[in-house]
Each structure stands twice: as C-alpha cells, then as structure tokens.
Amino acid sequence: MQLIPCPWCGPREEAEFHYGGQAHVAYPEDPSALSDEEWAQYVFFRENPSGPFAERWSHSAGCRRWFNAVRDTRTHDLLAVYRVGEPMPEVTA
C-alpha cells in the first residue's frame, strides 16, 4: 500500500485516491475548430511512457481535491506532487 503525498493533506494511503490519467491534457479552446482527427486525439489518445509521467490524482476519500503528480511508471515512485494550475516541476528519475 503506497503512500501518496496529497499536496493538501500530506501522505495518505493509496486506497484513498482515485486515478485520473495523464495530466496537462487541456480541454480544447474551441472544439468546433478541430478536425475529427485532432478531436479524436484529445478524446482517445494518451501517452504511455516508461519512466516519469505527469498524472492527475484525486484525493477522493480525503479532501476530494484533484492534484497532479509525476510518477515513475517503472517503480511507482512519486517524484513530485503539485497543485492544479502549477507548472510541472523538474524531476530526476
């Protein structure tokens, strides 16, 4: 049972959290201006890297806040957590 450091609450057990997929995939400014392919990229396609990955997490059984985390997908180590709206910090895996 991993500990996830919620930026609002501190370290809590992973069972309290909900995973939200890749971070920094913004809702397009004007969806109607996008081609079908561009829209499909937004709806269906996500990165799947081996290594550091910026993801969204929600502390759903705690403060119910969404935040972002950089996780090394090889080790599950959380390299950084940061609040929504903050830029992704530099990390070393």
Min CB(27)–another protein separation in Å: 5
Find which of another protein, Zn ion, none residue 30 binds, CB within 5 to 8 Å per kind.
another protein
Q: Which of 10, 15, 19, 43 binds another protein (CB under 8 A)?
A: 43
Does 26 contact another protein by CB under 8 A? yes
In the numeric block, which tokens belong to residue 5? 């450091």
List residues near Zn ion by CB under 5 A: 6, 8-9, 59, 62-63
The residue (of 34 and 91) whose beta carbon lies closer to another protein is 34
Strands (E), the chain: 3-6, 10-13, 18-22, 52-58, 66-72, 78-83
From CA 71, how far away is CA 78, in angstroms rounded?
4
Number of other CB atoms surrounding residue 81 within 10 Å: 19
C-alpha count within 13 angstroms, C-beta hemisphere, residue 12: 18
**Interface contacts to another protein, rule CB under 8 A:** 1-3, 11, 18, 20, 26-28, 30-32, 34, 36, 39-40, 42-44, 56, 58, 60, 64-66, 75-76, 84-85
